[in-house]
């Protein structure tokens, strides 16, 4: 325990020194699996630090389920205009999978509009649009209406052919792959849902597995691919801001895998 603490202090000191030397970003992103430190480790994540496996998963479930505020499905529209705001144009939202920047006012259901994508497909566990997993902002994203329809309830896997206006996303008969820049985001959203929903709150226990074609079962694949995507596409400034806005303004809980992407490997 003492050794762990000393290592942590040491890594904080090194990170601080790196910031002061202006070398922070390359030093901290060169090895994605390395332990990261955040401003929340001694507070929000206090009871999870140092744990691995099911112990870490259980601890994180308790942390991210405590004192959560939930919003209605209709309130999700306005929330996404804040969480998914284009950093280069405050009148727009950035759309998941395609990367398109589109006017916030074009929310709706017509071609050319954006709507509310359940990254964990709402049929997988059948939670629909009910307050809870159906309205959890950590996996709800602004998405082009047609691209959302193409994704449907497909599991995630590599391969397929290009999605029309999909920004490089691909699809085949049983799976969907986001454009490269959104792959880590999707992995961390799916795995947040697996930790947040454990079957103790009236909803299904959501879990990743190695399959595609999960249908209405409360599973989402493929875990090995999601793990690789988490490594290949580390958290971006957009994703970190989004996590912070949800924590500060809406739900008051965090996605642990955006703060600590190495916890994906620590659990799975
Ligand atoms: Ca990304
Ligand atoms: Ca679960």
| pLDDT for position 15 | 42
| pLDDT for position 125 | 98
Question: Which residues are paired to 198 by β-bridges?
Answer: 205
Nearest ligand to residue 65 Cα: 2
C-alpha 233 – ligand 1 centre gap (Å): 5
| pLDDT for position 135 | 98
| pLDDT for position 57 | 98
Is a pLDDT exceeding 70 seen at residue 10? no
| pLDDT for position 183 | 98
C-alpha 176 – ligand 1 centre gap (Å): 16
Average of per-residue pLDDT values in the chain: 91
Per-residue pLDDT tens over the stretch 123-153: 999 999 999 999 999 999 999 999 999 999 9
State pTM to two decimals.
0.88
pLDDT above 70 covers a percentage of the chain that reads 87
Cα→Cα distances 260→38, 123, 174, 224, 244, Å: 8, 28, 30, 18, 14
Cα→Cα distances 145→70, 116, 120, 166, 238, Å: 25, 8, 16, 11, 21
Is a pLDDT exceeding 60 seen at residue 24? no
Average pLDDT estimate for 96-108: 98
C-alpha 257 – ligand 1 centre gap (Å): 12
Per-residue pLDDT tens over the stretch 226-263: 999 999 999 999 999 999 999 999 999 999 999 999 99
Is a pLDDT exceeding 80 seen at residue 67? yes
Average pLDDT estimate for 75-99: 98
| pLDDT for position 35 | 80
C-alpha 97 – ligand 2 centre gap (Å): 24
C-alpha 58 – ligand 2 centre gap (Å): 10
Per-residue pLDDT tens over the stretch 158-213: 999 999 999 999 999 999 999 999 999 999 999 999 999 999 999 999 999 999 99
| pLDDT for position 22 | 39
C-alpha 113 – ligand 1 centre gap (Å): 23
C-alpha 120 – ligand 1 centre gap (Å): 17
Terminal-to-terminal C-alpha distance of the chain: 23
pLDDT band for position 12 (50/70/90)? very low
Question: Rounded to 5 degrees, what angle do the CA atoms 212, 189, 41 make?
Answer: 140
C-alpha 219 – ligand 2 centre gap (Å): 9
C-alpha 45 – ligand 2 centre gap (Å): 19
| pLDDT for position 4 | 36
- The contacts of residue 176 (CB under 8 Å, 6+ apart) are 150, 151, 152, 154, 155, 156, 157, 160, 163, 169, 170
| pLDDT for position 33 | 56
Answer whether 125's CB lies under 8 Å from 133's CB.
yes
**Residue extents of the structural domains in the chain:** 53-267
Question: Residue 156's closest CA among 84, 227, 95, 94?
Answer: 227
Cα→Cα distances 14→20, 104, 107, Å: 10, 41, 45
Nearest ligand to residue 58 Cα: 2
Q: Which helix (H) or strand (E) holds 24?
A: helix 24-29
Is a pLDDT exceeding 50 seen at residue 5? no
């Amino acid at each position: 325990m003492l050794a762990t603490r000393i290592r942590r202090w040491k890594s904080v000191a090194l990170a601080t020194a790196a910031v002061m030397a202006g070398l922070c970003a390359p030093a901290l992103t060169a090895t994605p699996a390395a332990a990261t430190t955040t401003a929340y480790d001694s507070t929000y994540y206090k009871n999870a630090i140092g744990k691995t496996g099911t112990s870490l998963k259980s601890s994180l479930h308790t942390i991210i389920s405590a004192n959560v505020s939930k919003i209605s499905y209709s309130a999700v529209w306005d929330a996404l205009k804040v969480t998914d705001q284009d950093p280069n144009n405050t009148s727009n939202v950035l759309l998941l999978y395609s990367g398109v920047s589109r006017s916030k006012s074009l929310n709706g259901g017509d071609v050319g509009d954006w709507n509310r994508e359940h990254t964990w497909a709402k049929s997988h566990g059948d939670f629909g649009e009910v307050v809870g997993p159906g309205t959890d902002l950590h996996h709800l994203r602004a998405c082009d209406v047609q691209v959302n329809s193409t994704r449907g309830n497909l599991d995630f896997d590599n391969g397929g052919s290009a999605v029309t206006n999909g920004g490089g996303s691909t699809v085949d008969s049983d799976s969907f792959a986001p454009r490269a820049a959104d792959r880590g985001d999707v992995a961390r959203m799916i795995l947040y849902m697996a930790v947040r929903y454990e079957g103790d709150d009236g909803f299904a226990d959501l879990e990743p597995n190695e399959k595609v074609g999960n249908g209405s079962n409360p599973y989402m694949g493929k875990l090995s691919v999601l793990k690789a995507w988490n490594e290949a596409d580390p958290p971006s400034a957009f994703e970190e801001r989004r996590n912070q806005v949800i924590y500060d303004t809406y739900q008051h809980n965090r996605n642990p895998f955006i703060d600590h992407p190495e916890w994906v490997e620590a659990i799975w």
